[in-house]
Amino acid sequence: MTDTSDPTTAVAVTSRLFSMMPPLRDELLARYPEARIATSSKAAEDDLIDFLRGATVAVIGVERFTARVLDALPDLEVIACCSAGVDHLDPAELEGRGIRIGWIPGVNRHAVSELALCLMLDLVRHVNWANVELRAGRWTPPKRGRLLRGATVGIHGCGNIGREVVKLLQPFDVEILACDRVDQPEFYAEQGVEAVEPDELWARSEVLTIHLPRNSTTIGLYTPEVLDRLRPGVFLVNTARGSIVDEAGVAERLADGRIAGAAFDVFHVEPVDAPELTSSADFVGLPHMGASAREAWLAMGRAGLRGITENAVPSPGTYPFD
């Protein structure tokens, strides 16, 4: 096994954070002077293989390492992740080859939680709708909004990002409901959060924000049947993963008012191609920009650097692959 703290370690970097941000590039090269840094996307399998050939460590963004890619890279020992999640990696394929991964959870929690709060405020006050009208040359009488203050806000998934959302909501004097598979009594008591089961979360939340990981238990969770269990007139925010929510079901319920407004930063297919959803006047769509803050990019890049030496062989069915 290679000593990954050795500056002669064969490091190849596919994450474009290092080519875009000189401080990250300088920190990397100070430790690994011979590191190769990609300046263009390596999403295609052949490009990824060609670039990583001979490397023992790959510092990556969200590139997918299929069995074919891994078979073509016999020298690879460590995958260090700059990403917020690891759902683009197959733990069984990595475990079978003894390849270790370095990953730090919650690295972009401040950026995503701020965006979630931004989208909540946008929806309840119809900010984006009003901006679209104004840019089209229409001085349209404003829609009647409501205050976020005093609302019942549900948080589905109270992990690293969800907890930050709880903290950001404190000045708004909201009633906060949280649903998470891990009980957090001390944090909930400190922040005035009520722990609830999914059915109660869906029935009571006037604003519902999703912060679940993408895994076998959450993919497709928000089916049309679940969407029908949401409180009528709910405002729905998703900055987690697009595959969690049925987009066509949301579009249908926006059209008839069962959902008052929805804001998504993530989609089942990206770039998004769901005109029935994105064309709704009550929908706000963003191009997966939750982590697009300079501070978040630096934190994610530095998490990748740490992953070069802080890593372990993953195991299917255990966090974060459960």
What does the pLDDT average to over 92-121?
97
pLDDT of residue 7: 80
Alpha-carbon dihedral sign for residues 158, 244, 111, 151: negative
What global pTM score does this model have?
A: 0.93
- Give per-residue pLDDT as tens, 225-280: 999 999 999 999 999 999 999 999 999 999 999 999 999 999 999 999 999 999 99
- Give per-residue pLDDT as tens, 42-53: 989 999 999 999
What does the pLDDT average to over 182-194?
97
Residue 206: pLDDT band with limits 50, 70, 90: very high
The domain limits of the chain are 11-105+294-309, 109-285
Which tokens sit at 256? Answer: 């008839």
Does residue 241 have an active-site annotation?
Answer: yes
Distance, CA of 98 to CA of 312 (rounded, Å) = 9
What does the pLDDT average to over 11-37?
97
CATH T-level topology, domain 11-105+294-309: Rossmann fold (3.40.50)
Does residue 126 have an active-site annotation?
Answer: no
Does residue 25 have an active-site annotation?
Answer: no
Distance, CA of 162 to CA of 237 (rounded, Å) = 12
Helix ranges, the chain (H)? 17-20, 22-31, 45-52, 67-71, 91-97, 109-125, 127-135, 160-169, 185-191, 198-204, 224-227, 247-256, 275-278, 294-309
Q: Top-level CATH class of 109-285?
A: alpha beta
Q: What own/partner pairs with CB < 8 Å and gap ≥ 24 does 271-276 have? A: 272/242, 274/247, 274/248, 276/248, 276/251
Residue 114 has pLDDT above 90, yes or no: yes
Three-class DSSP labels, 134-183: HHCCCCCCCCCCCCCCCCEEEEECCCHHHHHHHHHHHHHCCEEEEECCCC
Among the listed residues 241, 253, 268, 302, the single catalytic one is 241
Q: Do domains 11-105+294-309 and 109-285 have the same CATH topology?
A: yes
Q: Backbone phi, then psi, for 11, in 5-degree steps?
A: -105, 130
Among the listed residues 34, 190, 270, 295, the single catalytic one is 270
Q: How far is Cα of residue 138 from the mean position of the Cα atoms in its chain? A: 35
Among the listed residues 31, 125, 146, 288, the single catalytic one is 288
